[in-house]
């Protein structure tokens, strides 16, 4: 077990838990035997779902019947106590009993409980919620996606540095281009915080990344920029807009291809290309985000994803 990656899993967070979470773990184990799962939640509900599906040498269940609800405010979630599945999972990382924690639960509570248990990286004031987005040339790191509604220019500078470091760790052969998400590409556009951050990044001249200035929302998928930085409010709106647009396109294409005889024939003739298109826009492939800035890894799975999405997210740890 010493050679395995120890993953602390909050099994009670998100829609359809714990079944969705356990099904994702079972699927993940079927293709990857390098993980050990410390599962936190109601043993009476979890054990029947996993019993016989994974050898007991690859998992353990830490029993608790208490959990943080999706309707809780961040403060209410933290006040539910130290015996909730989320708190115990995070604490196991703090105590070095696990290497990483995954939860599909309440995002705000996950951030607060993580900050109460874990330390920040030196000189970093706030953690940022960061995720990978697809673009025309590959993937981009985007942050912050909702952890910090208000940010200072120092926060955005920190996010730029952390985002570039994350991208480099994933793609060590590429030097990332960093840009600030803004309402225009001209230097004078944006609020004072954005303009101050622009000046800081422009003057910094880092050897670890290239500063590419501003990027507008309609160019996020162009692939010219690898790290996209914003405050949490703007980033979360961009994320939800992208998700909604992808779902709209997929649904409308499905209607067009099945709504008439000609459409059905066309879909049969182009079934291979349609499958590739659907896979490219499948949100489950890009599920989850990581709080960077903390001294231990905390990852957030989308609460509404299914077990495939949770499996895909866990698989990125291989």
CA atoms within 13 A on the CB side of 155: 18
pLDDT of residue 32: 83
- Structure confidence by residue, pLDDT tens digits, 188-232: 788 899 999 999 999 887 888 999 999 998 898 888 999 999 999
Question: Interhelix angle for 43-50 vs 19-31, to 10°?
Answer: 40
Where is 162: in which H helix or E strand? helix 153-170
117 φ/ψ angles, rounded to the nearest 5 degrees: -100, -35
Average pLDDT over residues 174-196: 89
pLDDT of residue 88: 97
**Same domain membership, residue 191 and residue 50:** no
**Same domain membership, residue 300 and residue 253:** no
**Same domain membership, residue 271 and residue 318:** no
Residue of 9, 193, 27, 148 lying closest to 88 (CA atoms): 9
Average pLDDT over residues 264-289: 58
Please tell me the total count of domains within the chain.
2
pLDDT of residue 311: 55
pLDDT of residue 285: 56
Q: Is the pLDDT of residue 265 over 70?
A: no
**Same domain membership, residue 282 and residue 136:** yes
**Same domain membership, residue 207 and residue 276:** yes
50 or 316, greater pLDDT: 50
| Three-class SS state of 67 | coil
Q: How many CB atoms within 10 Å of residue 221?
A: 14
**Cα gap 310→285, rounded to integer Å:** 9
Reply yes or no: is the peptide bond before residue 18 cis, omega within 30 of 0: yes
- Structure confidence by residue, pLDDT tens digits, 299-318: 988 755 555 555 555 444 44
pLDDT of residue 287: 61
- Structure confidence by residue, pLDDT tens digits, 132-145: 888 888 889 999 99
Q: What percent of the chain has pLDDT over 70?
A: 83
**Same domain membership, residue 273 and residue 150:** yes
pLDDT of residue 47: 96
Q: Name the pTM for this structure.
A: 0.82
Average pLDDT over residues 108-130: 93
Give the domain extent around 180. 126-286
Mean of the per-residue pLDDT values of the chain: 85
**Same domain membership, residue 147 and residue 235:** yes
**Cα gap 110→91, rounded to integer Å:** 12
């Amino acid at each position: 077990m010493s050679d395995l990656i120890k993953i602390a899993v909050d099994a009670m967070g998100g829609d359809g838990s714990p079944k969705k979470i356990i099904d994702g773990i079972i699927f993940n184990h079927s293709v990857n035997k390098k993980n050990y799962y410390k599962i936190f939640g109601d043993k009476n509900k979890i054990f029947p779902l996993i019993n016989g599906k994974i050898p007991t040498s690859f998992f353990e269940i830490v029993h608790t019947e208490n959990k943080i609800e999706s309707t809780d405010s961040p403060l209410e979630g933290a006040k539910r106590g130290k015996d909730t599945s989320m708190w115990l999972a995070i604490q196991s990382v703090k105590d070095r009993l696990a290497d990483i924690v995954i939860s599909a639960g309440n995002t705000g509570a996950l951030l607060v409980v993580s900050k109460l248990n874990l330390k920040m990286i030196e000189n970093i004031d706030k953690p940022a919620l960061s995720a990978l987005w697809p673009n025309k040339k590959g993937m981009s790191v985007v942050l912050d996606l909702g952890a910090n509604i208000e940010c200072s220019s120092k926060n955005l500078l920190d996010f730029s540095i952390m985002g570039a470091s994350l991208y480099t760790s994933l793609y060590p052969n590429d030097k990332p281009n960093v840009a600030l998400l803004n309402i225009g590409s001209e230097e004078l556009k944006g609020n004072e915080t954005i303009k101050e951050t622009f000046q800081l990044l422009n003057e910094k001249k880092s050897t670890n990344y290239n500063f590419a200035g501003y990027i507008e929302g309609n160019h996020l998928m162009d692939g010219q920029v690898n790290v996209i930085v914003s405050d949490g409010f703007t980033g979360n709106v961009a994320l939800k807009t992208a998700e909604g647009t992808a779902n709209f396109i997929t649904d409308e294409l499905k209607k067009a291809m099945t709504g008439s005889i000609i459409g059905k024939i066309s879909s049969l003739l182009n079934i291979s290309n349609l499958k590739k298109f659907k896979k490219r826009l499948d949100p489950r492939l890009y599920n989850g985000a990581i709080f960077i800035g903390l001294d231990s890894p905390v990852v957030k799975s989308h609460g509404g994803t299914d077990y495939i999405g949770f499996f895909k997210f866990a698989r990125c740890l291989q």
